[in-house]
Amino acid sequence: MNHEPDDYFSYREAEPIEIGDNCWLGANSIILPAVRLGQHTVVAAGSVVTKSFPEGDVVIGGNPARVIKTLGPYRGNK
Beta strands (DSSP E) in 1-78 are: 18-19, 24-25, 30-31, 36-37, 42-43, 48-49, 58-62, 65-70
| Residues whose CB is less than 8 angstroms from the CB of residue 9 and which lie 6 or more positions away in sequence, other chains included | none
Q: Domain with 35 in it: what CATH number?
A: 2.160.10.10
pLDDT in tens, 30-55: 999 999 999 999 999 999 999 999 98
Return the C-alpha torsion angle 67, 54, 36, 58, nearest 10: -30
User: Is the pLDDT confidence value at 16 over 90?
Assistant: yes
Residue 64 lies in a domain: yes
Residue 44 lies in a domain: yes
User: Is the pLDDT confidence value at 5 over 80?
Assistant: no
